[in-house]
Structure 1
Amino acid sequence: MTIAGFLATSAMVNPAMAQSQTQTQPTSDFDQCLAELGETAVRAGVSRETATAVVAGVEQIERVIELDRKQPEFTTTFADYLNRRVNESRIQQGRELLKTHRDLLNRVTRETGVPGPYLLAFWGLETNFGSYFGKMSVPGSLATLACDERRSEFFTRQWVAALQIIDEGAIPAEQMEGSWAGAMGHVQFMPTVFLEHAVDADGDGRRDLWNSLPDALMSAGHFLESMGWNGDYRWGREVLLPENFDYRLSDGRELPLAKWREMGITDAFGRPLAREDIDASLLVPAGHRGPAFLVYHNFDVIMGWNRSEFYAIAVGHLADRIAGAGGLQVPPPEDLPALSRQQILDLQQALASRGYDPGPIDGILGSGTRSAIREFQKANDLVADGYPGIPVLNAVGIDT
């Protein structure tokens, strides 16, 4: 079915639309796909009136494809990532908002178990406390991505969910704006997350994540609760490691907190770790020269929101700062190189050629590559922290 055919079918169902919708236009591949998306939405339960109105207003957005295809030339160092996101301005604003919205935040905590500083940290990182939601048409972005073969199945689901949101009256299609990938509102929910976890917390009969802060923050709390947030514990904490520590233990393994304590790990101020019955994993996101963190189950929950360890640490640290904590005792080093994608590819190929399996050779510094780096470091008398620092690059002959 072409888009003209879809609109004509809709006009037959609703004759009032016929006069404005029966003009035929040349059919493009996008038009064909858009018509099919309209029918997919109708089959999923979206009213034909809503589907027709949204389809008629959608245009392909080439900029969305450019952004989806674009790969950053250089990786971001942990210092750059954290310092940009957890800065004094955001910390102070978060502390002020903690007071301003205390009643609302306390209500969300009572109902979901998620403390206010974490809710503010997500809000701060996602939209700078509601100051920028994104200016892209969500239906247009999602239709553009759904009609692109790279991730069509995923974005088709998001498209249908977006139309279901419009159909339920949460927001008019022309006001549904967000990021280029379709994330929406104060806390940047994707449409499928919205459908499953958004709530009407202000009692006005709509789930409005754009204009209602109670709806947005309560929805964030419910989403985190659904992923298993444990209100009895924090996200993790900065720790100090003893001299001659075996950094191979920073490979993501979980050990009881008592075990880490036995190894001589202390809190960030040199005090013994608490004797709590909880498992933790060790992270050294900037290698052995940077800060170390023991992270708990709630860290994994944050990762369920965004699969970046840098993001999850930033959320946890910003929440701590908003709650009144000070900065890191070991700041991330700012002199580490930002590696290019090509350098990571070269490193992966060099490791593979030496018998260390980095996983897919894709220019992405994932867990497989870090594991291969650790094994290479161990075999070459380097600190086995899994970090691709200058000693590793020099050892495999990569220019820095």
Structure 2
Amino acid sequence: MRLISATLLTLALTTAAHAQQCGGSFSAFVDGLRQEALRNGHSAQSVNAFFNGVSQDQATLNADRRQGIFATPFVEFSRRLISQHRINNGRTNAERYRSVFDRMERELGVSRGVLLAFWAFETDFGAFQGDYNTVNSLVTLAHDCRRPELFRPQVFAALDLFESGDLDPRNTTGAWAGEIGMVQMLPEDIRDRGIDGDGDGHVDLQNSAPDALMSGANMLRSLGWQANQPWLVEIEVPSNFDWSQSGLETTRRVSQWQQMGIRGRNGALTNTGLQASIVAPQGRNGPLFMAYPNYSVLFEWNQSFVYVTTAAYFATRLEGAPVYDAGNPDPGLDQNQMRQLQQRLTALGHDVGGIDGILGARTRAAVQAEQQRLGMPADAWPTTELLRRL
């Protein structure tokens, strides 16, 4: 009788833990992860070694809710990230790993400037890779109910890496969101797209630059990067340009943009048969770029518009492009004003993706729509004048 009761109790606890997709008791949540791992064929020895000692990390949760840097305008943000030190180190590393970059471009078709830019911004070429325990962060974020669908699979991918000898659950550290290594990749991407670039039998993104660079390039290729095609080019537009045609939602062949009077700032535009968009990070009076399909692929790496545009531009700098023309952008909004704007846009029926004070893609689209309605230049850059008129 005691044995039957114990068995029924175990089954009940297992079912309850399995049903707990996020939230609730952290220990019960971890038990659910254990049971799921066992059902998926992992050995009890591996599961115990991986999950024993895992703990909730409040610092991870704090970091997840503190991402104000992405509210910084493009010019300020890019000047902050693109230092002479990073330019010099980029050139030094491009030469030091020339053979790796040659192989990367030959086999995967990803330009060296792109990986150099992410390597620089993510970890300062490997110098600062993060000190958050990777497993603790991933389990904490999977338990948190903000984005469990993103982080829960990463926990099991990390278990796979542990079983292959490429992750130590107690000692592997990285970014607060669970990214690992010099170019900060999530466990699922390392498992599925990692490349052993140095031939030692392991994919070690923390200590092997060839592994990190080849793996990052392979991830971009798998996300749709088109070999040997551009991603971002600085442009000049005619004074009569219709700014409602700017933004990533509008694409035309480069040749069509040329017919509308758009020119490359530093030479003739190439790849005239490709589709492209006009990007004005700080409106019509700031820097202007033509964005090709490869630019959009970069949002799979990081979803911040200002970060992706800065990384894409820095990649061109590392490959010889000059400093952009900063122009004289109209003053933007601070975060409190941006929240007010988002509230007013929401009241008008626009979906801005949340009142967070960050000028994301949905807020830009709503701003552009309201600028058109009000007869203002529709360049998607919010100003105090727009806020007043709304």
The reply to whether TM is greater than 0.5 is: yes
Q: Which residue of 1 aligns with 2:132?
A: 136
Q: Which residue of 1 aligns with 2:265?
A: 268
Q: What does 1:334-345 correspond to in 2, within 5 Å?
A: 336-340=331-335, 342-345=336-339
Residue pair 1:142, 1:155 contacting (<8 A) in 2 also: yes
Runs of 4+ in 1 over 6 A off after TM superposition: none
Matched pairs, number: 367
C-alpha deviation, 1:367, in angstroms? 3.3
Pair 189,334 (structure 1): closer, same or farther in 2 beyond 3 Å: same
In 2, Cα distance between equivalents of 1:332 and 1:102: 35
Q: What does 1:232-311 correspond to in 2, within 5 Å?
A: 232-252=228-248, 253-269=250-266, 272-274=268-270, 276-311=272-307
Pair 194,272 (structure 1): closer, same or farther in 2 beyond 3 Å: closer
1:389 matched to 2:383 = yes
Q: Which residue of 1 aligns with 2:176?
A: 180
1:368 matched to 2:362 = yes
1:123 matched to 2:119 = yes
Q: Which of these residues, 50, 62, 69, is aligned with residue 54 of structure 1?
A: 50
1:99 matched to 2:95 = yes
Q: Which of these residues, 52, 68, 80, is aligned with residue 84 of structure 1?
A: 80
1:149 matched to 2:145 = yes
Percentage of pairs with the same residue: 35
Residue pair 1:142, 1:156 contacting (<8 A) in 2 also: yes
C-alpha deviation, 1:68, in angstroms? 2.2
Residue pair 2:60, 2:177 contacting (<8 A) in 1 also: yes
C-alpha deviation, 1:222, in angstroms? 0.9
Residue pair 1:79, 1:333 contacting (<8 A) in 2 also: no
Residue pair 1:78, 1:332 contacting (<8 A) in 2 also: no
Residue pair 1:121, 1:315 contacting (<8 A) in 2 also: yes
Query: What's the CA shift string for 1:143-189, capped at 9, x where partnerless?
Result: 11222233233322111111110111113222311111101111111
When structure 1 is superposed on structure 2, of 223-232 and 193-202 the one drifting more is 223-232
* TM-score, reference length from structure 2: 0.87
Residue type of the partner of 1:219?
S
Q: Which residue of 2 aligns with 1:380?
A: 374
Pair 134,385 (structure 1): closer, same or farther in 2 beyond 3 Å: same
3-state SS of 1:150 partner: coil
C-alpha deviation, 1:116, in angstroms? 1.7
Is there any run of 5+ residues in structure 1 with no aligned partner, and where? 10-27
Residue type of the partner of 2:350?
D
3-state SS of 2:62 partner: helix
Residue pair 1:236, 1:295 contacting (<8 A) in 2 also: yes
Residue type of the partner of 2:138?
L
Pair 123,68 (structure 1): closer, same or farther in 2 beyond 3 Å: same
Residue type of the partner of 1:390?
T
Query: What's the CA shift string for 1:316-365, capped at 9, x where partnerless?
Result: 2211211222201x21657734521x433322333455x56354553343
In 2, Cα distance between equivalents of 1:98 and 1:74: 28
C-alpha deviation, 1:254, in angstroms? 0.8
Residue pair 1:358, 1:371 contacting (<8 A) in 2 also: no
In 2, Cα distance between equivalents of 1:283 and 1:367: 12
Q: Which of these residues, 34, 46, 66, is aligned with residue 30 of structure 2?
A: 34
Q: Which residue of 2 aligns with 1:221?
A: 217
Q: Which residue of 2 aligns with 1:204?
A: 200
Q: What does 1:316-355 correspond to in 2, within 5 Å?
A: 316-328=312-324, 330-331=325-326, 333=328, 336-340=331-335, 342-353=336-347, 355=348
Residue pair 2:247, 2:280 contacting (<8 A) in 1 also: no
Residue pair 2:110, 2:228 contacting (<8 A) in 1 also: no
C-alpha deviation, 1:95, in angstroms? 0.8
Is there any run of 5+ residues in structure 2 with no aligned partner, and where? 1-5, 11-23
Query: What's the CA shift string for 1:88-125, capped at 9, x where partnerless?
Result: 21111101111111111111111111122222112111
In 2, Cα distance between equivalents of 1:29 and 1:372: 40
Pair 74,114 (structure 1): closer, same or farther in 2 beyond 3 Å: closer
Pair 325,127 (structure 1): closer, same or farther in 2 beyond 3 Å: same
When structure 1 is superposed on structure 2, of 71-80 and 88-97 the one drifting more is 71-80
Residue type of the partner of 2:374?
N
When structure 1 is superposed on structure 2, of 182-191 and 344-353 the one drifting more is 344-353
3-state SS of 2:322 partner: coil
Residue pair 1:76, 1:338 contacting (<8 A) in 2 also: no
CA RMSD of aligned residues (A): 2.3
3-state SS of 2:364 partner: helix
Residue pair 2:365, 2:380 contacting (<8 A) in 1 also: yes
C-alpha deviation, 1:74, in angstroms? 8.4
In 1, Cα distance between equivalents of 2:70 and 2:57: 26
3-state SS of 1:350 partner: helix
In 2, Cα distance between equivalents of 1:226 and 1:205: 22
